[in-house]
Chains A and B, each alone.
Chain A
Amino acid sequence: AQSVAQPEDQVNVAEGNPLTVKCTYSVSGNPYLFWYVQYPNRGLQFLLKYITGDNLVKGSYGFEAEFNKSQTSFHLKKPSALVSDSALYFCAVRSSGGSYIPTFGRGTSLIVHP
């Protein structure tokens, strides 16, 4: 069975500082990894995905994520946080084998302080 863990329910960071939101996964076959962001009373917005190739993936709004196969991780990063980045972030995994259905993490609330 595939699974996603987002070990931190909440991440606090000061505006202008770098941020990291952690995600680890377990899947059979090759992992396809996604990050989404959810603002209050809104649906999920796609940020970026890793399918194959370069381990560093760049996405929307200055976010990037690094795929680490040995550590089965796909952490989301941004060099300089903005207050407007405050939101709920979800990591998701799908597999090249097994179930097509994506599995989402429980979400991490990012709070950027002015």
Chain B
Amino acid sequence: KAGVTQTPRYLIKTRGQQVTLSCSPISGHRSVSWYQQTPGQGLQFLFEYFSETQRNKGNFPGRFSGRQFSNSRSEMNVSTLELGDSALYLCASSFGASGLSTDTQYFGPGTRLTVL
């Protein structure tokens, strides 16, 4: 079974631009979560989608948004990029709905975003 895939793997943008990242979950998984990983802050939860609905949201500004499609694929958008948005953005999928805290999340390889 194929793992979680993320595209693109690397992105370079300039301040003020916007960016869209894509995540395809493991086949059969319906929950997709997004995380931002930086050396200073570690892994921080962005949001989680299940059945095209955002179920949970972390403490990030409204510039960060996402959506999920009927095939469970998810996209994350960051508008008006800032230097501090440079990070590795990780997507994770799991089978069940939010609230199933016992579910294992499986992570993709990430998208490395650099903002200049």
Contacts and interface: CB of A to CB of B under 8 A. Distances in A.
Contacts of B109: 41-43
19 contacts: A34-B105, A36-B107, A43-B4, A43-B109, A43-B110, A44-B92, A44-B107, A45-B107, A46-B104, A46-B105, A46-B107, A95-B101, A96-B101, A100-B48, A100-B101, A101-B56, A102-B45, A102-B101, A102-B105
Interface in B40-68: 42-43, 45, 48, 55-56, 58
Chain A interface extent, by class: 20 to 34
Contact of A43 (B56, B98, B99, B107): B107
Interface of A: 32, 34, 36, 41-46, 49, 51, 90, 94-96, 99-102, 104-107
Chain B interface extent, by class: 20 to 34
A107 B92 CA distance: 18
A104 B102 contact: no
B104 A43 contact: no
A104 B110 contact: no
B25 interface: no
B21 to A, nearest CB: 13
